[in-house]
Structures are given as structure tokens and as C-alpha cells.
């Protein structure tokens, strides 16, 4: 259903853009594509097929290439071999053997990609595999022989047709690849309705540009209609420079000093800015123009580079100047790196990471994704210059020609991204406020917090870790005794066998594969009545504390500062919340005794104190303010215990008559309902029936009608706008709020 709803808008957009749309009744799209690709190749054309369908890998030749625009994957002949293990001319045989669930081709049972590649390598083709089927041993050989009768049909089903009769249909197609002026309004409507903000901006800019072009020049190109505009936007030509001499340095220093805004980026040796060493710096002052300043490339082939200390001394006035404005991607990192060299980076005017986050918090914000999404540029990936996995080298070892192009592109693309993103923020008062007055200042605060770090008592943690280790051994022995034998306490499969086969414990729920589940929810339920699940819960909790905190934190102390330095990820949570990692300091346990002991290991230096501060019932105060509910506002104005006041309203008793249990229920209701908790969720949380939970909810909203009204209005607004908005203007986009998938819409 969701797919069906997308087809007509896609067709409408394609037609309006001036792209040919070819649909032939009774002919599959794959076969149309295969025929077009084959015919174009015969005419001497190079063909690009945009697809993620592995079936179409059989079309690849020296002149036909596949590109998956969702993943940026490009498959030429070598790419097909690298991905599938067989060349394009063997893809049909490969798919026949492994099967294709999408096309309902079963393939050979238990024959996966590795087995198919092995057979096709050994026997050359599917015909060869069939001819030697009796020689293949083991169970999979038997399955192959069982499939022999069906394999010719499988081959036919996965073969893409390349000789469909398209002539009658092609004659009526106009392939202008251009957008006619009368179609722009239709495109604006489609792009607005479906949230394609970048395309909306581009079509608007194209219209504005066309209005400024003299009519006499609009039709100069041969065969070009003066009344149409290009529907594809061409990337600016690139002029990248590697700064290796002082005259080059002086020229670029003058350029960035005169520039209104300079894109700036650092290349380093590590992702952790506290230990990262500077390898080079890149600059861009206009689209397509950028430079890379190498400073610490090493290796036998590394060319001469300007001395790092002298370069930084001469750059420092510009770097620390407030009047020289800079833009970067994730500038907090660059600020940290420069701080390692005693430089305070100032004049940070914009950050494309935060611009993207403010615009679309639900999307990815890495440069590769942003460049493709907003500029149509496929950037050079780090792995392309430094390698992958165990073979990856440091950036200081990357050959300078590759490093320079990669780094200069970073700065160039950053500047272009800013020019694409900020014009979408600036006209929106709320978004601009969030970006300039919340996100940008917060980034600077977070950088200081990260740099300061926090002091921990490593001896205390090491002692606690040893004590936990002793307790874990004792718990293992107790578990073995209860289970009647040794087993792996970390193996869900073995735990399942002990629980449900040996001890005959009740099955609470099953995994998607149909096996009895042993997740934490199941253990919690079983622990109410059985000792072994309770013991396993304690073991899991302690093991996690040990591995995550008592063992790990002492190893994360910075050797120079003697402190732990977390990273606060500002552009991760869609709601605007911060996330902490390496290590995660937001989830230090507090509910258990061992967890509280870990918190006690975070200490202040002599003569100082750690101050803990919290807002009092901040969510409820905000709800009272934005909903304007009179009862809730009055309760806060009187200084009431809000949970007791809610219990009084819901249960119809005076505040003095509210019992501890009623206050507990009211607290769950207060915090649960403002976040959309359902009757089912409330019933599960409180351990009551769904009818009782519904009664509590009805009473709550009857007593606080302003809250109910606000929540209803918010739902209605979100359906019409496609997002919800905070009082300051932060937006949370809800792409599926009007979708056909009920659970996802909820």
C-alpha cells in the first residue's frame, strides 16, 4: 500500500522534469531496461543504469554500468566480479543456483553465494554444474540433483530480456531532459507536498535565473527550446591546489583574509581529538576553488612540506580572529584539534553539520550523504584513499596527490553545502533561532566540557572490578547448581535449552524465528517465580557494569590530562537531545548499589566540589505552559506536589487523603501521558488491567482538558505540516505521519 501511493507522484514528477517515462503493458521494467541498454550500446553509447537490483548485474559490459544511487555503489565489470565473485556473463547462472525470493525463484536448497561461486569457478557455467552434478558430494550435492529438473526454468526466470519490441513506444517519446515553465508549478506542488526541500529550492532558483536571461540568448544552443530549463544541475569545475611553497602560502593567506567566509577543515591522525595530531589543513573561498596545506605527511615518498610550527604561527592570527568568518563540517572537532597546539579557533560562523541537523534531524548528516542529497556530488570516501579494515593506513601515510584531492574536496563541498543549507534556515524565524541561539553556542560549550573532562578514582574502580569478578564466579557456580550442570551464561541458545527443555519453565514469548525468547523482558517475568532467571539477571547486570565501566573507564583516562574525555554528539538524537559516547557518561547506573559505587568514582580535584543540579518536574512545567491548562497551572502556582495534586484530581480525594500508591500511579500517569503512553502501555507499567488504565487516562484528561486539547491540536497540526515544533522553533519531521502503515504512523 505505501509503495502504491508513491507511484503516481513519481510518474508526475518524472513527466514534469521532462524525462521520458516508458511503461509497456505486459512487459517487466527489467526487460525494458535490458532492451534499452542493449540497443544503446549497439549505437555506440555508454549506458548508466540506476538500480539496486542485483538481477541487472547481468547487463554490465564495458559500456554498461550500474549505479545504486541509494548507496553510491558503482558496478562495472570489475565491480560485479568483486561483489558477486563471478563476471556479468555468469550472473544468470549464479542467480539460478542461489535463487531469488523477489522473483519467486527457489534455487538450490542450501546453496548460498559461496557455494555457487565455487561451482561456477570449477565447472565454468550452469550447464557445467548440471553436467557434473553426480560428482558433487554431501547434502548440498543431493539438493542440487533434486533441483536439476527446475534449474532450466530458474535460468529463464532470472534472465533479463534484451530484445523487446520497443519501437512503437520509443517513437512517441520526447527526451528533452528539460523542465517546461508550465510544469514548474506542478513540481513545486509535488516537492512541497512530499518534503523535497532541496529540489524545491533548485526549481525555484532555476525559475529565477531564467527570468534574468535575455530572451534572445535563451534559444542559442542548436535544437534547444528557449522555453525550457535544464532539469539537471551541473557541478562547478574544480580548481584544487596543494600548498607546498611560501609564495603559495602567502597567496592563500591573503585570499582567506580577504574572503567574506572561508570553509576550513583539518586532516588528522585520529578520530579522538584529544590525541589527534594535525596532518594538514584545507581551505575554500568559492565553489570549486580550494587548497590543501600538507603539514605532516610522512613516508619515503612524502614530498617537501612547509614546517608545521612556522605555518601555525603565521596562521594563528587568522585562526583566532573573530572578524575572519569560518564555516566547517563538525567544527567542534577542529576546535579541539587546534587547541592541542595552543590555538583558540574563533570566528566560527557556521557549521554544516548543525545546519543539516536543524533542517532535518531525522536524516544522516555526514558529508558524503549531505553532498549527494543536496548537491548531487558523489564525494571521495575516506576508505578510497586510506583503505579499509586492517589494511587501512593513517592519513599521514596517504600519498599526497590523493590526500590533497580528498582534503580540498572536503573544504570545497563544505562551502557549497553551506550555500545550499543556510538559505533554507535563514527565512524561517524559528529554525534560525534554534541554529544561531541554541545549536551554535551549545557546540562551543560542549567543546569546553569535552576538553575539561572529568576526574575519576581509578583505584576505586579497579578494586570494585575485582570484587565484581569474584561475585560473577560465585553466581556462575550457583547457576550451575540450579541448572544441574555447567553452561554458557552468555548463550541464549544454551539458556533456552536449560529453561524450556530441562527445567520446563513456561515460554513467555518467542523470537521471530519461533524459538523461545530469553531476552531481559522474559527473564524479568520468569524471575518473579523462579530463582535461575533472577540469578541470570544479576549476572548480566554485573557483567555489563564490569565490562562497560569498572574495566573500561580506567583505560580511557587520557595520559596527558589524567581525566576521562567523553564526546558529546550534538547531531544524533532527532529530538535535539545530546548523546554521550567514548565513554557514555549519560547512562552511569544509579538504581543499584554497584551502579551508585561507580558514580562515586567520579570525583573533584582537591579543594573542589562536584555540584549536581536538576530542574524540578521540568517536563510537567513545560506542559502546563504550552497547554495553558488552568488546573495544572494553578497547581504549580500554589507550589503543590504535582503528583499528589494529580492523584487528588484523578482519584477524587483530597490531597491529604492521597495514598502512597495513588501518588505513584499519578506520577506514572503524569510523565507517561505527556509522551503519548497508551492504555496498554500504562497497564503494563502499573501492572493493572487495560480497562483500569483507560479509566485513569479518561479521568486525567477530564481533569486536565487543556492538556488533552493541546495534544489533539498537535496531532492535527503534525498531519497537515508533516512535523511537530517546539516553542523555540525546533522541528521534528514525521515523514510517515500520513502513511498507510498503521504501526509506523503511530
Q: What is the secondary structure of 404-437 as a DSSP string?
A: HHHHHHHHHHHHHHHHHHHHHHTT-HHHHHIIII
Q: Which residues contact 198 (CB under 8 A, 6 or more apart)?
A: 373, 374, 420
SS3 label, residue 727: coil
Residue 372, classified by CB atoms within 10 Å of its CB into exposed (0-12), middle (13-18) or buried (19+), is middle
Contact 701, 682 (CB under 8 A): no
Residue 561 has a pLDDT of 93
* DSSP 8-state code for residue 454: B
Burial of 486 (0-12, 13-18, 19+ CB in 10 A): exposed
Closest CA to 605 of 559, 639, 562: 562
Give the Cα separation of 446 and 332 in Å (integer): 8
Which of these, 668, 671, 698, 693, lies nearest to 680 by C-alpha position?
A: 693
- Closest-CA residue to 412 (of 289, 532, 495): 289
The residues that bridge with 241 in the sheet, in sequence order, are 291
Are the C-beta atoms of 334 and 416 separated by less than 8 Å? no
467 and 461 in contact (C-beta within 8 Å)? no
- Intervals of the chain under pLDDT 50: 213-233
**Contacting residues for 561 by C-beta, under 8 A, at least 6 apart:** 274, 453
Pick from 291, 301, 411, 359: nearest CA to 730 = 359
Q: Give the three-state DSSP class for 346.
A: coil
Beta bridge pairs of residue 455: 603
Q: Could you tell me the pTM of the whole model? A: 0.76
- Residue 403's alpha-carbon distances to 268, 383, 406, 589, in angstroms, are 11, 12, 5, 43
Give the residue among 188, 210, 213 at the shortest CA–CA distance from 201. Answer: 188
Residue 153 CA to its chain's centroid (Å): 41
Return the ∠ at Cα 323 (arms to 322 and 327), rounded to 5°: 75
Q: Tell me the three cell numbers of residue 164.
A: 523487446
C-alpha cell at 592: 543499584
Q: What is the pLDDT of residue 218?
A: 39
Question: Could you tell me if 220 and 172 are in contact, meaning their C-beta atoms sit under 8 angstroms apart?
Answer: no
Query: Helix, strand or coil for residue 607?
Result: coil
**Nearest by Cα to 32 from 53, 15, 13:** 53
Question: Residue 603 pairs with which residues in a beta bridge?
Answer: 455
> Domains of the chain by range and CATH?
1-21+177-211 (no CATH), 22-170 (1.10.150.20), 239-386+395-452 (3.30.420.10), 456-560+572-603 (1.20.1060.10), 618-745 (1.10.150.20)
Cα gap 454→461, rounded to integer Å: 14
- Can you give the pLDDT at residue 565? 96
Beta bridge partners of residue 463, listed in sequence order: none
Grid cell listed for 338? 587546534
Yes or no: say if 76 and 47 are a contact pair by the CB < 8 Å rule: no
CA distance 371 to 417: 7
- C-alpha distances in Å from residue 231, one per residue of 179, 187, 228, 546, 729: 6, 11, 9, 58, 33
Amino acid at each position: 500500500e505505501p509503495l502504491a501511493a508513491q507511484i503516481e507522484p513519481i510518474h508526475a514528477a518524472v513527466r514534469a522534469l521532462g524525462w521520458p517515462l516508458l511503461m509497456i503493458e505486459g512487459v517487466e521494467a527489467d526487460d525494458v531496461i535490458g532492451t534499452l541498454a542493449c540497443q544503446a550500446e549497439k549505437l555506440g553509447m555508454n549506458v548508466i543504469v540506476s538500480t539496486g537490483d542485483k538481477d541487472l548485474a547481468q547487463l554490465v559490459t564495458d559500456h554498461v554500468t550500474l549505479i545504486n544511487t541509494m548507496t553510491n555503489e558503482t558496478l562495472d565489470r570489475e565491480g560485479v566480479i568483486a561483489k558477486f565473485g563471478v563476471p556479468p556473463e555468469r550472473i544468470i547462472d549464479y542467480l539460478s543456483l542461489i535463487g531469488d525470493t523477489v522473483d519467486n525463484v527457489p534455487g538450490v536448497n542450501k546453496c548460498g553465494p559461496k557455494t555457487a561461486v565455487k561451482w561456477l569457478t570449477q565447472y565454468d557455467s550452469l550447464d557445467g554444474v548440471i553436467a557434473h552434478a553426480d560428482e558433487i558430494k554431501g547434502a548440498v550435492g543431493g539438493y542440487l540433483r533434486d533441483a536439476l529438473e527446475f534449474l532450466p526454468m530458474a535460468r529463464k526466470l532470472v534472465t533479463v530480456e534484451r530484445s523487446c519490441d520497443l519501437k512503437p513506444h520509443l517513437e512517441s517519446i520526447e527526451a528533452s531532459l528539460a523542465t517546461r515553465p508550465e510544469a514548474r508549478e506542478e513540481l513545486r506542488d509535488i516537492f512541497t507536498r512530499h518534503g523535497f526541500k532541496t529540489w524545491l529550492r533548485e526549481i525555484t532558483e532555476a525559475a529565477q535565473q531564467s527570468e534574468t536571461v535575455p530572451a534572445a540568448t535563451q534559444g542559442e544552443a542548436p535544437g534547444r527550446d528557449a522555453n525550457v530549463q535544464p532539469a539537471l544541475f551541473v557541478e562547478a569545475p574544480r580548481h584544487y591546489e596543494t600548498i607546498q611553497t611560501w609564495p603559495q602560502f602567502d597567496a592563500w593567506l591573503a585570499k582567506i583574509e580577504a574572503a567574506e567566509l572561508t570553509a576550513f577543515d583539518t586532516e588528522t591522525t585520529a578520530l579522538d581529538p584529544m590525541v589527534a595530531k594535525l596532518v594538514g589543513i584545507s581551505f575554500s573561498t568559492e565553489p570549486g576553488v580550494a587548497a590543501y596545506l600538507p603539514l605532516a605527511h610522512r613516508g619515503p615518498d612524502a614530498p617537501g612540506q612547509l614546517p608545521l610550527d612556522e605555518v601555525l604561527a603565521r596562521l594563528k592570527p587568522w585562526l583566532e580572529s573573530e572578524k575572519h568568518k569560518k564555516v566547517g563540517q563538525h567544527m567542534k572537532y577542529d576546535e579541539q584539534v587546534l587547541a592541542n597546539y595552543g590555538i583558540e579557533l574563533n570566528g566560527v560562523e557556521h557549521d554544516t553539520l548543525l545546519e543539516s541537523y536543524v533542517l532535518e534531524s531525522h536524516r544522516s548528516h555526514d558529508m558524503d550523504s549531505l553532498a549527494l542529497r543536496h548537491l548531487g556530488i558523489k564525494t571521495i570516501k575516506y576508505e578510497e584513499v586510506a583503505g579499509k579494515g586492517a589494511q587501512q593506513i593513517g592519513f599521514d601515510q596517504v600519498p599526497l596527490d590523493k590526500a590533497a584531492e580528498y582534503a580540498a574536496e572536503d573544504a570545497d563541498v563544505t562551502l557549497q553545502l553551506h550555500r545550499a543549507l543556510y538559505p533554507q534556515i535563514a527565512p524561517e524565524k524559528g529554525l534560525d533561532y534554534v541554529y544561531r541561539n541554541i545549536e551554535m553556542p551549545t557546540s562551543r560549550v560542549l567543546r569546553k566540557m569535552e576538553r575539561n573532562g572529568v576526574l575519576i578514582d581509578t583505584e576505586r574502580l579497579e578494586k570494585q572490578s575485582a570484587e565484581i569478578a569474584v561475585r560473577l564466579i560465585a553466581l556462575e557456580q550457583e547457576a550451575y547448581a540450579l541448572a544441574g550442570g555447567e553452561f554458557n551464561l552468555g548463550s541464549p541458545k544454551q539458556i533456552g535449552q536449560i529453561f524450556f527443555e530441562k527445567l520446563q519453565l513456561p515460554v513467555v514469548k518467542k523470537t521471530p524465528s519461533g524459538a523461545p525468547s530469553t531476552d531481559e523482558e522474559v527473564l524479568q517475568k520468569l524471575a518473579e517465580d523462579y530463582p535461575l532467571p533472577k540469578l541470570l539477571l544479576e549476572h548480566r547486570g554485573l557483567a555489563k557494569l564490569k565490562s562497560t565501566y569498572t574495566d573500561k573507564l580506567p583505560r580511557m583516562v587520557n595520559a596527558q590530562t589524567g581525566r576521562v574525555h567523553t564526546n558529546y554528539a550534538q547531531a544524533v538524537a532527532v529530538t535535539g537531545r545530546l548523546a554521550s559516547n567514548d565513554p557514555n557518561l549519560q547512562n552511569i547506573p544509579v538504581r543499584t548499589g554497584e551502579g551508585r559505587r561507580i558514580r562515586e568514582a567520579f570525583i573533584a580535584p582537591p579543594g573542589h566540589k562536584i555540584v549536581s543540579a536538576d530542574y524540578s518536574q521540568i517536563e510537567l512545567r513545560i506542559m502546563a505552559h504550552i497547554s495553558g491548562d488552568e488546573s495544572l497551572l494553578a497547581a504549580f502556582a500554589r507550589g503543590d506536589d504535582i503528583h499528589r495534586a494529580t492523584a487528588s484530581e484523578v482519584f477524587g480525594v483530597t490531597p491529604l487523603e492521597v495514598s502512597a500508591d495513588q501518588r505513584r500511579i499519578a506520577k506514572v500517569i503524569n510523565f507517561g501521558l505527556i509522551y503519548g503512553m497508551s492504555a496498554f502501555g500504562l497497564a503494563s507499567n502499573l501492572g493493572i488491567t487495560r480497562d483500569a488504565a483507560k479509566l485513569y487516562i479518561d479521568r486525567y484528561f477530564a481533569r486536565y482538558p487543556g492538556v488533552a486539547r493541546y495534544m489533539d491540536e498537535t496531532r492535527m497540526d503534525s498531519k497537515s505540516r508533516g512535523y511537530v515544533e517546539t516553542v523555540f522553533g525546533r522541528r521534528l519531521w514525521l515523514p510517515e505521519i500520513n502513511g498507510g502503515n498503521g504501526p509506523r504512523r503511530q
